[in-house]
């Protein structure tokens, strides 16, 4: 996260780290149910097998396992069938853990939006992750507040790409607070009036975040995929006996 700050344990209990040996942390991910996390499809390029992955939850410092940490293996990886590597569209995947997590104050699922719940431009939300801060890869979870940008305005930053309805743009013109490499798959969450935090985006792509090109980050639009997500979980849980 560029321009963010170090978070505190328990502030983002749905944040998880998707890890694969020998690299360790590869991508962020988000807990949405006791045995289900969301991340982005491009994290699995070159590592499609569930066997090489594990999910670590309840940590703040990647380098210091906490008492609240829970680690699970990956049982199933479901990539969106329309994911396209070339244009990074439909960049979302659902991961089934090998067993339920224990819900604690430091490991808890985030809410999913309803399919008709879409974010207005100029709404302020949070992004979190252990990705590049512009100068280094941090050990401690970083958080940053970003503003939702309209798709039309966003398209003007990315001439070479088509910003589709499967995407959300967030950040600032100057790119002062933005996600970066290593944050992919992590959450863009917004607090709803009732005080519940809801997941609206998954960090997906953007300009090369520690170079001259600035501009907002692009996130997979979770509202667009909610029905697909719920359907895949239902099929995996109830129909594949």
Partner 1 sequence: CLYNSCLDSCGGSSLCDPNNSRNNCSQCEPITLELCMNLPYNYTSYPNHLGHRTQKEASISWESSLFPALVQTNCYKYLMFFACTILVPKCDVDTGQRIPPCRALCELSKERCESVLGIVGLQWPEDTDCHQFPEENADNQTCLMPDQYVEECSPSHFKCRSGRCVLASRRCDGQADCDDDSDEENCGCKERDLWECPSNKQCLEHTVICDGFPDCPDSLDERNCSFCQDDELECVNHQCVSRDLWCDGQADCSDSSDEWACVTLSKNANSSSFLTVHRGATEHHVCADGWQETLSQLACKQMGLGEPSETKLLQQQENDQRWLMLHPLWGSLSGTTLHKLLVNGQSCESGSKISLLCNKQDCGRRPAARMTKR
Q: Which residues are catalytic?
A: 42, 91, 184
Rule CB under 8 A: is residue 241 a binding residue for partner 1?
A: yes
SS3 129: strand
Q: How far is the CB of 155 from partner 1 (least distance, A)?
A: 8
Instruction: List the one residue from 61, 71, 76, 155 that touches partner 1 (CB under 8 A).
Output: 155
Q: How far is the CB of 75 from partner 1 (least distance, A)?
A: 16
Nearest to residue 112, comparing CAs of 237, 238, 232, 240? Answer: 232
Rule CB under 8 A: is residue 224 a binding residue for partner 1?
A: no
Rule CB under 8 A: is residue 67 a binding residue for partner 1?
A: no
Rule CB under 8 A: is residue 112 a binding residue for partner 1?
A: yes
Rule CB under 8 A: is residue 109 a binding residue for partner 1?
A: yes
Specify whether the CB–CB gap between 27 and 137 falls below 8 A: no
Q: What is the CA radius of gyration of the chain?
A: 16
C-alpha distances out from residue 61 to 7, 66, 69, 177, 235, Å: 10, 8, 10, 21, 35
Which of the ranges 70-78, 130-138, 167-175, 190-198 carries the binding residues for partner 1, by CB under 8 A?
190-198
Rule CB under 8 A: is residue 46 a binding residue for partner 1?
A: yes
Which DSSP category does 103 fall into?
P
Rule CB under 8 A: is residue 64 a binding residue for partner 1?
A: no
Specify whether the CB–CB gap between 199 and 30 falls below 8 A: yes
Q: How far is the CB of 87 from partner 1 (least distance, A)?
A: 9
Nearest to residue 78, comparing CAs of 241, 230, 238, 199? Answer: 230
Which of the ranges 94-102, 116-124, 130-138, 194-202 carries the binding residues for partner 1, by CB under 8 A?
194-202
Length of the chain, in residues: 241
* CA dihedral of residues 181, 56, 189, 237 (deg, nearest 10): 120
Kindly list the residues in this chain that would bind partner 1 in the complex (CB under 8 A): 8-13, 22-23, 26, 32-33, 45-47, 82, 86, 103, 105-106, 108-112, 155, 159-162, 192, 195-198, 205, 207-208, 211-213, 230-231, 233-235, 237-239, 241
């Amino acid at each position: 996260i560029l321009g963010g700050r170090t978070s505190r344990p328990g502030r983002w209990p749905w944040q998880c780290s998707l890890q694969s040996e020998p690299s360790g942390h590869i991508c962020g991910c988000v807990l949405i149910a006791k045995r289900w996390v969301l991340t982005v499809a491009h994290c699995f390029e070159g590592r499609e097998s569930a066997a090489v992955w594990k999910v670590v939850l309840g940590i703040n410092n990647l380098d210091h396992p906490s008492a609240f940490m829970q680690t699970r293996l990956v049982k199933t990886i479901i990539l969106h069938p329309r994911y396209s590597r070339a244009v990074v569209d439909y960049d979302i995947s659902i991961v089934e853990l090998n067993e339920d997590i224990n819900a604690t104050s430091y490991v808890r699922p985030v809410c999913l939006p309803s399919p008709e719940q879409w974010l207005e431009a100029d709404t302020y939300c949070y992004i979190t992750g252990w990705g590049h801060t512009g100068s280094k890869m941090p050990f401690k979870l970083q958080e940053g507040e970003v503003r939702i940008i309209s798709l039309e305005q966003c398209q003007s930053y990315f001439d070479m790409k088509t910003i589709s309805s499967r995407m959300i743009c967030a950040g600032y013109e100057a790119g002062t607070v933005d996600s970066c490499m290593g944050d992919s798959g992590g959450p863009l969450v917004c607090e709803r009036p009732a005080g519940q935090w809801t997941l609206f985006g998954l960090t997906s792509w953007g300009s090369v975040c520690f170079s001259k090109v600035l501009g907002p980050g692009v996130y997979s639009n979770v509202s667009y995929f909610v029905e697909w997500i719920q359907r895949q979980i239902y099929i995996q849980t109830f129909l594949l006996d």
